[in-house]
Amino acid sequence: MAILLKRASEAASARDGARVLVERRRPRGMTEESLKLQAWLPALGASDELRRWFNERPLQWPIFRRNYLAELSTGDADDSLSQLHALAASRRNVTLLTSARNMEHSHAAILRDLIEGVRKPPSTSGPTRAASSGRVRAGRGR
Q: What is the pLDDT of residue 119?
A: 42
Query: What is the mean pLDDT of the segment spanning 5-30?
Result: 90
Q: What is the pLDDT of residue 139?
A: 46
**Nearest of 95, 85, 48 to residue 68 by alpha carbon:** 48
- For residue 141, pLDDT beyond 50: no
Which pLDDT tens digit goes with each residue over 35-58? 889 899 999 999 999 999 999 999
Taking the alpha carbons at both ends of the chain, their separation in whole angstroms is 22
- The whole-model pTM stands at 0.77
- For residue 14, pLDDT beyond 60: yes
The side-by-side arrangement of strands in the sheet containing 93-98 is 2-7, 93-98, 18-21, 39-40
Higher pLDDT, 129 or 2: 2
Q: What is the pLDDT of residue 131?
A: 52
CA distance 96 to 22: 6
The amino acid present at 29, given as its one-letter code, is G
- DSSP 8-state secondary structure symbol assigned to residue 45: S
**Nearest of 138, 135, 1, 140 to residue 69 by alpha carbon:** 135
Query: What is the mean pLDDT of the segment spanning 115-133?
Result: 54
Percent of the chain with pLDDT over 90: 55
Q: What is the pLDDT of residue 18?
A: 92
Query: What is the mean pLDDT of the segment spanning 3-14?
Result: 91
- Is the separation of the CB atoms in 103 and 94 below 8 Å? no
